[in-house]
Amino acid sequence: MTSTLIDRDGLPSWLLPVRDAAETVRPEQLSRYLPPAEGGRPSAVLMLFGEGPTGPDLLLIERARSLRSHAGQSSFPGGALDPADGDPHGAGPVAAALREAWEETGLDPTGVQVFATLPALYIPVSRFIVTPVLGWWRRESPVAPVDQAETGAVFRVPIAELTDPANRARLRHPSGYTGPAFTVSERLVWGFTAGVIDRMLHHSGLERPWEPARVLSLSDEALGLAGADRARVQGLLRDTPAAG
């Protein structure tokens, strides 16, 4: 997808491999779940890169525990497209990602340089067709939860923490799902968000060698506590032998 809202120039050197990977990566290299021919709800998320006190980082939110879907999970800011956002196959995802980030975190969208979009991906459990929108936080603004009923927390994760092998694992969900996970900033990042981060680190060459055989088992109790008591959640996560 191309949009007049996308500006690929003037990025810091460390972000260039991410931009280049985003421009060439194929949908099947990001996820095994691709949008169906019919159905699904167009959505977008903002994968916002900045430079914090400790270096390059990524902006994430913790979803409120009261939400009907993905409650308590760490995720990118984002949500479903509104009619006013425009064409889902044109500039709509960029407009939606920036709007949702503003609504959830108070972020000033004029300070964000959108430099790429990824192919649309599918989340079967919610039937969202999600376009990740990649941005550079060129001019930072204060961020915090705007509505506690929607956003529990707003936080920045250093890229160095995401690439640290000690913070990486695969997570086994009670449903049988197993996928990438990160234990960073006293939080667990898993699911769709972790999958996109994992694939972009890999395809941009920022990934460091890590041990995929390390599998964390996430109990139903830990799922219920997600976002409420992080110390207990970490205690309920346990290393288990990798299958096979």
The CATH number of the domain holding residue 156 is 3.90.79.10
Is residue 175, in this structure, part of any structural domain at all? Answer: yes
DSSP structure class, residue 101 = H
Is residue 8, in this structure, part of any structural domain at all? Answer: no
Is residue 7, in this structure, part of any structural domain at all? Answer: no
Is residue 38, in this structure, part of any structural domain at all? Answer: yes
**C-alpha neighbours within 13 Å on the C-beta side of residue 213:** 2
Q: Give dist(CA 50, CA 156) in Å, integer.
A: 9
Per-residue pLDDT of the chain (244 residues; tens, 9 = 90+): 444 589 999 999 999 999 999 999 999 999 988 999 888 999 999 999 999 999 999 999 998 766 565 557 899 999 999 999 999 999 999 999 999 999 999 999 999 999 999 999 999 888 999 999 999 999 999 999 999 888 999 999 999 999 999 999 999 887 778 899 999 988 889 999 999 999 999 999 999 999 999 988 876 445 544 444 444 444 444 454 444 3
pLDDT of residue 244: 37
CA pseudo-torsion sign 24, 29, 35, 41: negative
Is residue 112, in this structure, part of any structural domain at all? Answer: yes
pLDDT of residue 185: 81
For residue 131, which amino acid is it? T
Can you give the pTM of this predicted structure? Answer: 0.88
Helix ranges (H only) for 27-90 are 27-30
Token pair recorded at residue 152: 């529990």
Q: Which helix (H) or strand (E) holds 17?
A: helix 16-24
Domain span at 123: 13-240
Is residue 129, in this structure, part of any structural domain at all? Answer: yes
CB-based contact 48:112 (threshold 8 Å) = yes
pLDDT of residue 149: 86
Is residue 4, in this structure, part of any structural domain at all? Answer: no
The residue to which tokens 């021919």 are assigned = 37
| Domain count for the chain | 1
User: Which residues make Cβ contacts (< 8 Å) with residue 243, sequence separation at least 6?
Assistant: 178, 215
Is residue 168, in this structure, part of any structural domain at all? Answer: yes
pLDDT of residue 125: 84
